[in-house]
């Protein structure tokens, strides 16, 4: 293979890496260093991070206390790889997760470690729901995203991603998410009718899987009331409720679990991304103890015992020991919301709509390719952010939850400049 002579900054990647690469196309720089809410590239350019590793860096880059714990652990030759053997690192994580997260929220869940990515957690949740109920069907929602392996793709809405499967995606039914047809259409009534009516063609499903705020699907935030009604439907028909909190969890929407504010208790919860704290791969599948019907090793994987991730994850849970962290997220979310509302009213050309919840908000823009252009302009100005939604129509703000006011203000003001620049084109 020939390396190109007229070298672009990304020539190694362009020549040697597969066409499947994506984020390096949106953010064309070679990154070398990162701290908190900032990144630097090889030329020393500084960037503000409003992307946070697509939700894997809620606590920012290279957080100091986690870094120290990791360095100490490595220096002492702590176990790194252990499949799912019992290690001290895992024991400490399980205890702290129970004490700091589950117990205060009166959530009685068993913890399963699937492979270390979000889609691994979703696959295990779907398998478990089918095993427990003996049913095959799973209901998912329009514009959902649950991962790229076949089972997760089957409950994902996006046509482009689904097509990549290359095989039929079976045993799933898509129903309209809250607000899919606009505020006047009752999607709960629609779903209920399908379940009640013997002529609907819908077989009773094993589970309903949903995101409380759709991260990839356009930052659609389901109303708490809608989530409560979905839970009631699940209870009435004996359907398991799976909340995929891979992106919306770990504080992104304001509370540790995104469903807390709705007061619901899912049967199964998928967690990944920021549960590893430091951007290290880790995933959990949580479920009510009575659902723990797995036989030993029935769902396994080589990288379930990511001990470095356990070390960082245990330290990351310290953020949740007092209510202060939640309060700060709330304040920042309100600031972001006010700012976005004012941008939408000050820039009528955007025909914008503010979407999302917590530090998972954005603006849906009417113009074709407009959100994409805004993110490109932002990158030129040193702000990293991505689009979301079926047509990439939403500008998505995803700063680390730990970002300080100055960083937040800087990022927001670059965003406003970028919107103006994109509208002027």
Closest approach of ligand PMP to the CB of residue 94, in Å = 21
Tell me the window of 90-98, 139-147, 164-172, 198-206 that interacts with ligand PMP (CB under 6 A): 139-147
Asked if 107 and 287 touch (Cβ cutoff 8 Å), the reply is: no
Q: Which of 50, 145, 177, 257 binds ligand PMP (CB under 6 A)?
A: 145
Work out which of 24, 29, 34, 54 binds ligand PMP, going by CB under 6 A.
54
Out of 36, 60, 114, 147, the residue judged to bind ligand PMP by CB under 6 A = 147
Extract the runs of DSSP E, i.e. beta strands, from 36-130.
38-41, 46-49, 110-112
Q: How far is the CB of 126 from ligand PMP (least distance, A)?
A: 12
Tell me the DSSP string of 201-260: -PPPPSEEEE-SEETTTT-EE--HHHHHHHHHHHHHHTPEEEEE-TTTTTTTTSSSSTTG
Residues 236-255 that bind ligand PMP (CB under 6 A): 244, 246-247
The nearest distance, CB 390 to ligand PMP, in angstroms, is 14
| Inter-helix orientation angle 64-75/307-316, to 10° | 150
Site for ligand PMP in 208-237 (CB under 6 A): 211, 215-216
Distance CA 270, CA 141 (A): 16
Q: Are 188 and 230 in contact (CB under 8 A)?
A: yes
How far apart CA 402 and CA 189 sit, in angstroms, is 40
Rule CB under 6 A: is residue 272 a binding residue for ligand PMP?
yes
Q: Which of residues 80-119 bind ligand PMP (CB under 6 A)?
A: 117-119
Select the residue whose beta carbon is closest to ligand PMP and give its number.
118
Nearest CA to 269 out of 117, 110, 376 is that of 110
Rounded least distance, CB 249 to ligand PMP, Å: 9
Q: Identify which of residues 111 and 421 has a Cβ nearer to ligand PMP in the complex.
A: 111
CB 370 within 8 A of CB 350: yes
The C-alpha atoms of residue 341 and residue 355 are separated, in whole angstroms, by 10
Query: What is the total count of residues that contact ligand PMP (CB under 6 A)?
Result: 15
Give me the residues that bind ligand PMP (CB under 6 A), please.
54, 117-119, 122, 145-147, 211, 215-216, 244, 246-247, 272
């Amino acid at each position: 293979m020939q390396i190109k002579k007229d070298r672009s900054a990304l020539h190694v990647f362009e020549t040697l890496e597969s066409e499947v690469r994506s984020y390096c196309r949106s953010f064309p720089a070679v990154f070398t260093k990162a701290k908190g809410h900032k990144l630097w590239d090889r030329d020393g350019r500084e960037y503000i991070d409003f992307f946070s590793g697509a939700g894997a860096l809620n606590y920012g880059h290279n957080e100091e206390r986690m870094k120290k714990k990791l360095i100490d652990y490595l220096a002492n030759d702590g176990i790194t790889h252990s499949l799912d053997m019992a290690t001290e690192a895992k024991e400490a994580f399980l205890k702290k997760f129970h004490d700091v997260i589950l117990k205060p929220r009166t959530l009685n869940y068993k913890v399963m470690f699937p492979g270390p990515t979000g889609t691994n957690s979703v696959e295990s949740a779907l398998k478990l729901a089918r095993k427990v109920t003996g049913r095959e069907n799973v209901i998912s929602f329009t514009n959902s995203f649950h991962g790229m392996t076949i089972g997760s793709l089957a409950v994902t809405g996006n046509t482009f991603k689904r097509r990549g499967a290359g095989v039929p995606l079976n045993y799933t039914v898509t129903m309209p998410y809250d607000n899919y047809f606009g505020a006047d259409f009752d999607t709960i009534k629609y779903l209920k009718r399908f379940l009640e009516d013997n002529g609907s063609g819908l077989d009773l499903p094993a589970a309903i899987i949903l995101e409380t705020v759709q991260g990839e699907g356009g930052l659609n935030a389901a109303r708490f009331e809608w989530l409560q009604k979905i839970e009631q439907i699940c209870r009435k028909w004996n359907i398991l409720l799976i909340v995929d909190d891979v992106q919306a969890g770990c504080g992104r929407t304001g509370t540790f679990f995104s469903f807390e504010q709705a007061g619901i208790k899912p049967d199964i919860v998928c967690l990944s991304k920021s549960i590893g704290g430091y951007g290290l791969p880790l995933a959990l599948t949580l479920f009510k103890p009575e659902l723990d019907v797995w036989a030993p090793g029935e769902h396994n994987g080589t990288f379930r015992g990511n001990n470095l991730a356990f070390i960082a994850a245990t330290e990351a849970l310290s953020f949740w020991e007092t209510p202060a962290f939640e309060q700060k997220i709330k304040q920042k979310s309100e600031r972001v919301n006010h700012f976005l509302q004012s941008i939408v009213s000050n820039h009528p050309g955007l025909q914008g709509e503010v979407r999302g919840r917590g530090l998972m908000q954005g603006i849906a823009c009417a113009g074709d390719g407009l959100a994409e252009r805004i993110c490109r302009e932002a990158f030129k100005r040193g702000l990293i952010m991505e689009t979301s939604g079926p047509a990439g129509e939403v500008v998505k703000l995803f700063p680390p939850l730990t970002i300080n006011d100055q960083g937040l203000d800087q990022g927001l003001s670059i965003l406003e400049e970028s919107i103006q620049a994109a509208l002027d084109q």
